């Protein structure tokens, strides 16, 4: 969010960012045809939640979305062994669906 303070960002982590990360991770796993193993989903979602703090950096508008998309693809690759290109494509599809709806 624009002008977000550290306190607001830390409050948003468990309330907003973690549930969104869990849903996005599950959607990526489903698109890749992976089993929904809760340990892997939780690990990827927790890492993605912490990565959401990138919103606090003074970077150009929209760059945090690019960073989050790439990081989700990397985390999915690390925890599942899925090809990075397929993971990245699944992440991009999920992000477009998230933005569109």
Q: Which residue has the tokens 């990827």?
A: 44
Tally of CB atoms within 10 A around 99: 8
pLDDT tens profile 3-54? 678 888 888 888 999 999 999 999 999 999 999 999 999 999 999 999 998 9
pLDDT tens profile 43-78? 999 999 999 989 888 899 889 999 999 999 999 999
> What own/partner pairs with CB < 8 Å and gap ≥ 24 does 73-79 have?
75/43, 75/44, 75/47, 75/48, 76/25, 76/28, 76/29, 76/32, 76/44, 79/40, 79/43, 79/44
Domain extents for the chain? 6-100
What does pTM read for this prediction?
0.89
């Amino acid at each position: 969010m624009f002008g977000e303070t550290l306190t607001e960002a830390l409050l948003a982590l468990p309330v907003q960012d973690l549930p969104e990360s869990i849903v996005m991770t599950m959607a990526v796993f489903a698109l890749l045809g992976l089993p929904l193993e809760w340990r892997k989903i939780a690990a990827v979602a927790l890492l993605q939640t912490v990565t959401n703090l990138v919103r606090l950096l003074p970077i150009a508008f929209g760059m945090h979305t690019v960073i989050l998309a790439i990081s989700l693809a990397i985390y999915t690759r690390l925890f599942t062994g899925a090809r990075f290109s397929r993971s990245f494509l699944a992440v991009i599809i999920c992000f477009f669906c998230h933005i569109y709806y």
